[in-house]
Each structure stands twice: as structure tokens, then as C-alpha cells.
Structure 1
């Protein structure tokens, strides 16, 4: 297993988030094998045993998306074992993933979020301006949580109005930043400099103790402010990424351009946002068309 995770990290360049999830998934599968079948090596499991684990997950009301991720983990693992000649037959070939219901990406209404950014009085302090910058950055660029945390001060080009981010698979891309975000960055950096005069951290965003941000910290900040404008449970950093894409599409942005801004490897991943846009088109049609 250790070799497998090194392979995913250094050769496949999987994100830290995916690696953590796969660690959990493979650990749960190994525990199941040991407890139910007294098998200590996953390489000894056949397709019937794997199927029984999947059935157990379904019976325990695990969400289809989570089950599919666990299946994806096992597919990668057994392919790796096959390549290493640890097994002669891949048992995952006979495993079918359960169908997961398609869900539209949740997003924050444009007017509500703009009201929050323009009208809410963020504290004129390091902490207040950092919180504002987190929101402005996620919504203004559509970058992922891990990409936000990884940004360093020298990744930002004030003159060109761009930021360099490191996405999935260590793929680097340059994302444009708007004037509002640029102004926010400049103000934040002034507070950061006065707050931590002896700070040597290269990271742009830091905690109150000058340490790099971590995922739970950003989750708390986003939830705190999004809860002021919506009662929805959808208040994670990823919702701001969805909002960025949906609002661009609603304003007539080209789907290929949105794909590049989001750092998607294929257009298929971006097309999910067209469903939200179609709902808005239906609404406009019903209000405006004489026969609607």
C-alpha cells in the first residue's frame, strides 16, 4: 500500500485531498477484509468479496458518490497491483459502480453575494481584511480551496492583474484578477506587513499566528459569512467556485473560457453548469414570451 500511495503522489500527482480520501477508503476496505474474511492482504480478495463490501456500504446508507469514490480507489489499487505483477487477474473488471443521482451544483445568488461584499462592514484589521480577501479570491477567480491555500505573494502580478495557481496534477495556470480583488489584495498586504513585520512566510494568506491557512480554517470563514445571506446548507468554499462559473455563464461567457479559468481538463466537467443556466433561460422565457 505504501508503494501505491507513493505512486499516486509522485507519478500520478494526485492532490493531497484525494490521497487522504484514498488512504481512508483503502483502510476501511482492509479492515473489512480482516474482520469478515480474516484476509490480511487485499491482493487476496476476489470480485465476490469486493462486491460484498460494496453491498455493505449500500446497506449502511453510504451515499452513492462516496461509494463510487471508494470503487475508483480500488480500481486504481488493483490496476497498480496488476502492473506490479502482484496479481494475475484484476477483480475490479467485474465490478460495476452504482448510479449516482445527478445533482446540479449549488451556488449563491449573484445579488446576494455582491450585497455581502459591497455592503458588509469588514473590520479594518488584518483579520477582517483577510476574511474579505478569502471571499473575494474564491468568488473572483473560481479557484479551488487547495489552490487558494497554496498561493504565494510572488504568484501575484499586480501590473498584469493575474495570479499563478497550482492546480490538480501540479498543473500550473494563470488566472486574471479584477480591480476589486486587486484593491483587496493591496489593502490586505498592508495590514499583513504591519501585523507581522518580522514574518518570513511566503504564503499570501496566513492565520492570526502567521501560519499558512488550512482547509478547515477557510471552511469556517466562508460558512460564517455565507450564512449571513442564505439559510442553505451549501456554504462551503466550493460553492463560491460554482457561483463563479454559473454567474459567468449566465452573463454569456464562453464555455471553453470558463473551462480554462476553472482548470478543468475536459469540457465535460464544465458542462454541468449549463443546466443551471438553462433554468435561468426558462425563467426568462416564461416571464417574457407572450405564449409562455
Structure 2
């Protein structure tokens, strides 16, 4: 039975969800994304169902009940640790709001921690492979050659400025300042930032712009236009075009837009070592998110060390 059907058939469960709906409405007004709202609703809903089964309210949920719920999600529902962590985050935020509203006095998640699963290191492509992608010759047919002008501009910008694919397709023509070599990006939470553009990306965009009018519908301000619809290109279309370009360049590695962002971050940190600057360019609110790229660089250093140092692979038995 679907969750909404269960809620509609249970008056006490409906009462539990009234503050949840109010909370999500507040978050929507604060420009939280639909994805975030959906994830928060899913996480809090599971605790609501648990509390209903125990005949408890939000204010009667303490650390012991929370621990029982989390244990059930892990052991009985076989939910992955990372997914349970997301649910716990939603519950923590919800109780924070309940306290702000004067509905609850205690947040049961305070001091409650799950063992964090290690964050996997992002995949990185080397510079030679990116050169193979970006410097490939244009297709022979005029229409495909024009498409490649657009696609090359997109891929150059993704790698040059470390944009998320959603940020890329949200760009308008006026967001690009070729003369100042910068782009105005609207990121998560509708926060804007200015990010430098490399000269190769600027040149690719300059070559693309005169052809944009061939596809664009009137009054559409989008920078990157769908050749089929005449409107703003979708993130899925960017993913598909990148796969086409990789195949045409003879690249076997799986390429996807976020990989180019990973490459930007890793290569920038490797070349500059300026973690704060890279954090600003990526639009990370928390520097710990950016720090993962220092681990990528250190992993590379470790590989070089293991290959090059004469004593790197010696066993402890050989120590004097």
C-alpha cells in the first residue's frame, strides 16, 4: 500500500504528518530543491510510521526510540548505512525546526551518531584523455560540425570552471562575460558565484554563439540550446552528447559531466594547492567536501612513491 493511502486511512498518522507538511512548506519558501524536500519527506516519514506503531508523538520520541528505529532500518529493512545517515539528517533538521517553533524541547538526534561509511574517492580522468576528448576534430557533415561547436563549448566550460551539469544548463547567454573571462553561476540554494573561464573555453563559446540562433526559439535566453526542441538543453542531453563525443574520440573510459568537475577540482588543487580558492569556485559550502580531492591527489602521490622508491614495497621482515 502506498504511503499516502496509509496516511489518508489513519487519523493519528495524519496528525503526525501535519507538522511535517508545515516544515516542508517553510523549506520550499526558503528555496530548498525538490530533490531535498523529497529526501527529507522520505526520511521523516519512516520515523512517523515507527512512532505510529508505538503510539508515540514527535515530542515523546527520545534517544531510545530513535535508536530502535535506526536499528530496525538497518537490520530489518536492510537499508544501506549511507541511506540511514540521510534519513537521520532529515530527522535532525525536522526536530531542529520543531524546537524553533516551540513544539518540541529536545532533539533526540543530538549526540546520536552512526559510524560514517567512508566516502569513495571520485573518479578522475588524466589530462591526456581530456585532451583527446576536447581536441578531437569536428565531424565531416555541416550539421554535426555545428553540434560539435556547441558540445565542445559545453565540455570545455565544465572542465574549465568546474560546473555542475545542472548549473551548466541553467546558464543564460548574459551569464557569460567573455571579455572578463568569467561566468556567473547559480548553484545550490540559488546562491550565485563568479568563476573564471579558461581561454580555450572562452574561444569555444565564442565559436559556438554565432550558430546558436539556428536552433533557438524566440526569447529563449538559454546559453546552450537543444537542436531538436529549440529550448534550453536538458542535463540528460548533455550526458548523452558527452557519451557520443567520447565514443567518437575512441575513449573507452566512462565519461559523464560530473567527472569533468572532478577533474577540474583535482587538477586545480594539484597545480595550486589552494583549497579555499577551489572551494569557492566549486561552490562548496563546507570545505570538507572539497578536501576529498586532496585525498585523490595524495592517492596519486602514493602510487608514484610505490613505483619509484626502492624501499617502498619492502616487507617489515627486511628491516634491521
Give the alignment of 1:83-232 within 5 angstroms.
83-93=100-110, 95-119=112-136, 121=138, 123-126=144-147, 128-196=148-216, 198-207=217-226, 208-225=228-245, 229-232=251-254
Structure 2 residue aligned with 1:19? 37
In angstroms, what is the RMSD of aligned CA positions? 2.9
Which has the larger Rg? 2
Q: Give aligned pairs, total.
A: 285
Unaligned runs of 5+ in 2: 1-19, 313-320
Give the alignment of 1:75-86 within 5 angstroms.
75-86=92-103
Per the TM alignment, residue 120 of structure 1 is displaced from its structure 2 partner at its CA by 5.5
Structure 1 residue aligned with 2:83? 66
Whole-angstrom CA distance in 2 between matches of 1:61 and 1:214 = 35
Whole-angstrom CA distance in 2 between matches of 1:115 and 1:281 = 24
Whole-angstrom CA distance in 1 between matches of 2:62 and 2:162 = 42
Structure 2 residue aligned with 1:2? 21
Residues 220, 195 of structure 1: CA spacing in aligned structure 2 closer, same or farther, 3 A cutoff?
Answer: closer
Kindly provide the CA deviation profile for residues 107-141 of structure 1, in whole angstroms up to 9, marking residues without a partner as x: 22221122111126452134x43333332222111
Structure 1 residue aligned with 2:5? none
Matched residue of 1:195: which SS?
coil
Whole-angstrom CA distance in 2 between matches of 1:210 and 1:28 = 42
Instruction: Give the conservation status (yes or no) of the 8 Å contact 1:54–1:67.
Output: yes
Kindly provide the CA deviation profile for residues 46-74 of structure 1, in whole angstroms up to 9, marking residues without a partner as x: 44443333223323443322221221111
Per the TM alignment, residue 160 of structure 1 is displaced from its structure 2 partner at its CA by 0.6
TM-score (norm 1): 0.82
Unaligned runs of 5+ in 1: none
Whole-angstrom CA distance in 1 between matches of 2:234 and 2:51 = 34
Matched residue of 2:195: which SS?
strand
Whole-angstrom CA distance in 1 between matches of 2:241 and 2:94 = 36
Residues 98, 155 of structure 1: CA spacing in aligned structure 2 closer, same or farther, 3 A cutoff?
Answer: same
- Between 1 and 2, higher relative CO (CA 8 Å, sep ≥ 6) is seen in 1
Whole-angstrom CA distance in 2 between matches of 1:28 and 1:291 = 53
Per the TM alignment, residue 76 of structure 1 is displaced from its structure 2 partner at its CA by 0.4
TM-score (norm 2): 0.76
Whole-angstrom CA distance in 1 between matches of 2:258 and 2:98 = 34
User: Larger deviation: 156-165 or 59-68?
Assistant: 59-68
